[in-house]
Amino acid sequence: MEDFGLYIIITNPQSSYRSIAESCVERGVKMLQLREKSLSDKELIRLGKEIRDITRGSETSFVMNDRADIAAICEADFLHLGQDDMSMEEARKIVGDMKIGLSTHSIQQVKEALVQKPDYIGFGPVYPTNAKARPDQPVGIEQLKQVLNMATIPVVAIGGIFPENIQTILSAGAKNIAMVRHFMQTDQFDERVLEFTNLINKK
Protein backbone atom coordinates (compact mmCIF):
# COMPACT_ATOMS: atom_id res chain seq x y z
CA MET A 1 0.00 0.00 0.00
CA GLU A 2 1.26 3.48 -0.82
CA ASP A 3 1.50 6.39 1.60
CA PHE A 4 -1.70 8.39 1.72
CA GLY A 5 -1.07 11.70 3.54
CA LEU A 6 -3.92 13.17 5.54
CA TYR A 7 -6.12 10.69 7.44
CA ILE A 8 -9.22 12.25 8.99
CA ILE A 9 -10.98 10.56 11.89
CA ILE A 10 -14.62 11.43 12.59
CA THR A 11 -15.51 11.54 16.29
CA ASN A 12 -18.30 13.80 17.57
CA PRO A 13 -18.09 16.20 14.63
CA GLN A 14 -19.38 19.77 14.70
CA SER A 15 -20.14 19.58 10.97
CA SER A 16 -22.53 16.97 9.54
CA TYR A 17 -21.17 13.52 8.65
CA ARG A 18 -22.48 14.02 5.13
CA SER A 19 -20.71 17.34 4.59
CA ILE A 20 -17.46 15.91 6.02
CA ALA A 21 -17.55 12.91 3.69
CA GLU A 22 -18.45 15.09 0.69
CA SER A 23 -15.62 17.50 1.44
CA CYS A 24 -13.11 14.62 1.77
CA VAL A 25 -14.17 13.27 -1.63
CA GLU A 26 -14.04 16.72 -3.20
CA ARG A 27 -10.61 17.53 -1.74
CA GLY A 28 -9.11 14.10 -2.44
CA VAL A 29 -8.54 13.08 1.22
CA LYS A 30 -7.41 9.45 0.96
CA MET A 31 -8.45 8.04 4.35
CA LEU A 32 -11.63 8.80 6.32
CA GLN A 33 -12.39 6.85 9.49
CA LEU A 34 -15.70 6.61 11.35
CA ARG A 35 -14.85 6.38 15.06
CA GLU A 36 -17.89 6.81 17.23
CA LYS A 37 -17.97 5.21 20.63
CA SER A 38 -21.39 6.00 22.01
CA LEU A 39 -23.85 5.57 19.13
CA SER A 40 -26.30 2.68 18.88
CA ASP A 41 -25.44 -0.03 16.36
CA LYS A 42 -28.40 1.15 14.29
CA GLU A 43 -27.08 4.70 14.11
CA LEU A 44 -23.49 3.58 13.45
CA ILE A 45 -24.67 1.42 10.56
CA ARG A 46 -26.78 4.26 9.17
CA LEU A 47 -23.78 6.62 9.25
CA GLY A 48 -21.42 3.97 7.92
CA LYS A 49 -23.71 3.33 4.95
CA GLU A 50 -24.07 7.07 4.34
CA ILE A 51 -20.30 7.56 4.28
CA ARG A 52 -19.92 4.44 2.13
CA ASP A 53 -22.39 5.76 -0.43
CA ILE A 54 -20.67 9.14 -0.61
CA THR A 55 -17.12 7.76 -0.86
CA ARG A 56 -17.83 4.78 -3.15
CA GLY A 57 -15.80 4.97 -6.35
CA SER A 58 -13.82 7.99 -5.12
CA GLU A 59 -10.20 8.40 -3.97
CA THR A 60 -11.41 8.47 -0.36
CA SER A 61 -11.19 5.10 1.40
CA PHE A 62 -13.72 4.51 4.14
CA VAL A 63 -12.32 3.05 7.37
CA MET A 64 -14.54 1.65 10.15
CA ASN A 65 -13.02 1.74 13.61
CA ASP A 66 -13.27 -1.17 16.10
CA ARG A 67 -16.29 -2.97 14.63
CA ALA A 68 -15.58 -5.77 12.16
CA ASP A 69 -19.28 -6.64 11.93
CA ILE A 70 -20.29 -3.10 11.00
CA ALA A 71 -17.31 -2.72 8.65
CA ALA A 72 -18.61 -5.78 6.77
CA ILE A 73 -22.24 -4.62 6.78
CA CYS A 74 -21.25 -1.18 5.43
CA GLU A 75 -18.74 -2.59 2.92
CA ALA A 76 -15.92 -0.47 4.32
CA ASP A 77 -12.55 -0.43 2.58
CA PHE A 78 -10.64 -0.85 5.86
CA LEU A 79 -11.16 -1.94 9.44
CA HIS A 80 -9.01 -0.28 12.12
CA LEU A 81 -8.14 -2.31 15.23
CA GLY A 82 -6.34 -1.31 18.43
CA GLN A 83 -4.53 -3.22 21.14
CA ASP A 84 -7.76 -3.72 23.12
CA ASP A 85 -9.90 -4.69 20.13
CA MET A 86 -10.42 -8.13 18.59
CA SER A 87 -7.33 -9.61 16.95
CA MET A 88 -6.66 -9.43 13.22
CA GLU A 89 -7.12 -13.20 13.07
CA GLU A 90 -10.55 -12.95 14.69
CA ALA A 91 -11.53 -10.03 12.49
CA ARG A 92 -10.60 -11.98 9.34
CA LYS A 93 -13.46 -14.40 10.13
CA ILE A 94 -15.88 -11.51 9.73
CA VAL A 95 -14.30 -9.17 7.18
CA GLY A 96 -12.54 -11.70 4.94
CA ASP A 97 -9.79 -10.00 2.96
CA MET A 98 -10.78 -6.42 3.82
CA LYS A 99 -7.72 -4.20 4.45
CA ILE A 100 -6.84 -3.79 8.13
CA GLY A 101 -4.89 -1.14 10.06
CA LEU A 102 -3.48 -1.73 13.55
CA SER A 103 -2.73 0.75 16.35
CA THR A 104 0.63 0.59 18.11
CA HIS A 105 2.05 2.59 21.01
CA SER A 106 5.60 1.24 21.54
CA ILE A 107 8.47 -0.23 19.53
CA GLN A 108 7.63 -3.69 20.89
CA GLN A 109 4.01 -3.38 19.73
CA VAL A 110 5.21 -2.23 16.31
CA LYS A 111 7.39 -5.36 15.99
CA GLU A 112 4.47 -7.58 17.00
CA ALA A 113 2.06 -5.79 14.68
CA LEU A 114 4.36 -6.04 11.63
CA VAL A 115 4.44 -9.84 11.95
CA GLN A 116 0.67 -9.85 11.43
CA LYS A 117 1.04 -8.03 8.10
CA PRO A 118 -1.55 -5.27 8.47
CA ASP A 119 -1.98 -2.80 5.61
CA TYR A 120 -0.74 0.08 7.78
CA ILE A 121 0.03 0.82 11.41
CA GLY A 122 -0.96 3.79 13.54
CA PHE A 123 1.80 4.93 15.93
CA GLY A 124 1.09 7.27 18.81
CA PRO A 125 0.14 9.28 20.58
CA VAL A 126 3.03 11.37 19.33
CA TYR A 127 1.96 14.20 21.64
CA PRO A 128 -0.51 14.26 24.55
CA THR A 129 -4.15 13.97 23.55
CA ASN A 130 -7.48 13.85 25.30
CA ALA A 131 -9.36 12.64 22.23
CA LYS A 132 -8.96 9.03 23.35
CA ALA A 133 -10.05 7.29 26.52
CA ARG A 134 -6.97 6.20 28.54
CA PRO A 135 -4.34 7.33 25.98
CA ASP A 136 -0.90 5.70 26.16
CA GLN A 137 2.18 7.70 27.16
CA PRO A 138 3.24 10.01 24.31
CA VAL A 139 5.84 8.30 22.12
CA GLY A 140 7.54 11.52 20.95
CA ILE A 141 9.45 12.35 17.78
CA GLU A 142 12.53 10.15 18.31
CA GLN A 143 10.48 6.95 18.61
CA LEU A 144 8.38 8.04 15.64
CA LYS A 145 11.59 8.33 13.57
CA GLN A 146 12.67 4.85 14.70
CA VAL A 147 9.35 3.34 13.65
CA LEU A 148 9.44 5.13 10.30
CA ASN A 149 12.82 3.52 9.69
CA MET A 150 11.64 0.04 10.71
CA ALA A 151 8.37 -0.27 8.85
CA THR A 152 7.93 -1.24 5.22
CA ILE A 153 4.22 -0.40 5.30
CA PRO A 154 2.64 3.03 5.83
CA VAL A 155 3.03 4.40 9.36
CA VAL A 156 0.32 6.81 10.48
CA ALA A 157 1.45 9.39 13.05
CA ILE A 158 -1.42 10.16 15.43
CA GLY A 159 -2.12 12.04 18.64
CA GLY A 160 -1.92 15.72 19.49
CA ILE A 161 -1.10 16.77 15.93
CA PHE A 162 -2.14 20.28 14.86
CA PRO A 163 -0.94 22.80 12.24
CA GLU A 164 1.33 24.28 14.94
CA ASN A 165 3.45 21.11 15.24
CA ILE A 166 2.98 19.56 11.80
CA GLN A 167 6.38 20.69 10.49
CA THR A 168 8.13 18.70 13.23
CA ILE A 169 6.13 15.61 12.28
CA LEU A 170 6.89 16.05 8.57
CA SER A 171 10.57 16.73 9.25
CA ALA A 172 10.71 13.41 11.14
CA GLY A 173 9.76 11.78 7.83
CA ALA A 174 6.08 11.04 8.49
CA LYS A 175 4.06 10.74 5.30
CA ASN A 176 0.70 9.86 6.87
CA ILE A 177 -0.97 11.96 9.55
CA ALA A 178 -4.19 11.19 11.40
CA MET A 179 -6.07 13.88 13.29
CA VAL A 180 -9.30 14.11 15.25
CA ARG A 181 -9.77 17.41 17.12
CA HIS A 182 -8.37 19.79 14.53
CA PHE A 183 -11.02 18.65 12.05
CA MET A 184 -13.87 17.84 14.44
CA GLN A 185 -13.91 20.90 16.65
CA THR A 186 -14.85 23.31 13.88
CA ASP A 187 -17.83 24.15 11.73
CA GLN A 188 -15.39 25.20 8.97
CA PHE A 189 -14.39 21.64 8.07
CA ASP A 190 -13.88 22.17 4.35
CA GLU A 191 -11.74 25.28 4.89
CA ARG A 192 -9.55 23.39 7.36
CA VAL A 193 -9.03 20.53 4.90
CA LEU A 194 -8.00 22.96 2.20
CA GLU A 195 -5.65 24.84 4.55
CA PHE A 196 -4.11 21.65 5.87
CA THR A 197 -3.57 20.00 2.49
CA ASN A 198 -1.85 23.18 1.29
CA LEU A 199 0.33 23.10 4.40
CA ILE A 200 1.48 19.49 4.02
CA ASN A 201 1.89 19.66 0.25
CA LYS A 202 4.13 22.75 0.60
CA LYS A 203 6.94 20.68 2.14
Ligand X SMILES: Cc1ncc(COP(=O)(O)OP(=O)(O)O)c(N)n1
Ligand Y SMILES: Cc1nc(C(=O)O)sc1CCOP(=O)(O)O
Residue numbers belonging to the annotated binding site: 33-37, 65-66, 85, 103, 132, 160
Among the listed residues 55, 129, 143, 176, the single contact to ligand Y using CB under 6 A: 129
Instruction: Tell me how far, at minimum, the Cβ of 148 lies from ligand X, in Å.
Output: 15
Instruction: Tell me how far, at minimum, the Cβ of 139 lies from ligand Y, in Å.
Output: 8
Between CA 182 and CA 194 the distance in angstroms is 13
DSSP 8-42: EEESS-SS-HHHHHHHHHHHT-SEEEE--SSS-HH
Interaction between residue 118 and ligand Y (CB under 6 A): no
Return the number of the residue (2 or 84) whose C-beta is nearest Mg ion.
Answer: 84
Q: Tell me which stretch binds ligand X (CB under 6 A): 67-75, 76-84, 109-117, 165-173.
A: 76-84
Distances (CA, A) of 38 to 12, 35, 41, 47, 72: 9, 10, 9, 13, 19
Enclosing H/E stretch for 50 = helix 41-55
Enumerate binding residues for ligand Y (CB under 6 A). 103, 105, 122, 124-125, 129, 131-132, 135-136, 158-161, 179-181
